[in-house]
Structure 1
């Protein structure tokens, strides 16, 4: 079972031969496209005993993240607000920024929820998702007919 379903990129629609009316402004106003632009990059590796996920989220700190598992879904969200105010005699300067994202990944059934580990280091949020031990297949039982 795959970890993430493949989804067509919005850019692929631009390359289709029947797409003739391209307008860059309409692309920038498309909510789906804007949401995708704000999603951090994600790498997923499947190994023998685990899945490894790396999510690029530079500029955040550990406390900015919220990670939950709900109905077989790994939900990752982060938000960060920064505000700075400078007051002088003849002016006031106030700056602020806000950055947030959400990502959700449907986990395969063979992931052991209780063994998921996460670590944030140098702008990369890394997950280790241990696989459940496969249940041994029992040999079929032969029932004699009397």
Structure 2
């Protein structure tokens, strides 16, 4: 299989000089060299009886890329990844991979047990399990009507 690089930039010049290609719209490259991507990962936060589950969608990273810090009641998750540099054996015709970093911070409530926070990274999802203090857990009971 052979990859062919088509560099015919004027094929749509008669129709619209600002529109180059369906896969290369004006707004993606007019203001920067890199395509515009969402810079922060999507987050799901769920509350259970025993605690909270914070899930971050961060595919393509490794466990070593993450930094998770707790400062007072602020839980911060960050990652920093640099793209590989071009070598003599690898010459790029088009390179869109670049530097990627993010930082998300979460204010934890007073009911959280700060000594019991765990992190797990599986299939592109980083899950932080934050336990509640024993006295903060909801006590459920049935109340009789008199």
TM-score tier, shorter chain, comes to 0.5 to 0.7
TM-score, L = length of structure 1: 0.61
The separation in 2 between residues aligned to 1:57 and 1:44, in whole angstroms, is 15
Runs of 4+ in 1 over 4 A off after TM superposition: none
Q: Deviations 1:52-103 (Å, cap 9, x if unpaired)? A: 1110001110000000000210000001112142326xxx836662110000
* Correspondences of 1:105-124 after superposition (within 5 Å): 105-124=106-125
Write 1 or 2 for the structure with the bigger share of helix.
1
TM-score by length of 2: 0.61
Give the strand-richer structure, 1 or 2.
1
SS in 1 for 2:61: coil
User: Structure 1 residues 48-57 or 78-87, which shifts more?
Assistant: 78-87
List alignment gaps of at least 5 residues for structure 2: 1-26, 137-146
d(CA) in 1 for partners of 2:88 and 2:54? Answer: 44
Alpha-carbon distance between aligned partners in 2 of 1:107 and 1:72, rounded to the nearest angstrom? 5
Q: Shift of the alpha carbon at 1:125?
A: 0.2
Deviation at 1:120, TM superposition (A): 0.5
Question: Unaligned regions of 5+ residues in structure 1, if any?
Answer: 1-24, 136-146
Equivalent-residue separation in structure 2 for 1:81 and 1:38 (angstroms) = 14
State the secondary structure of the residue aligned to 2:82: strand
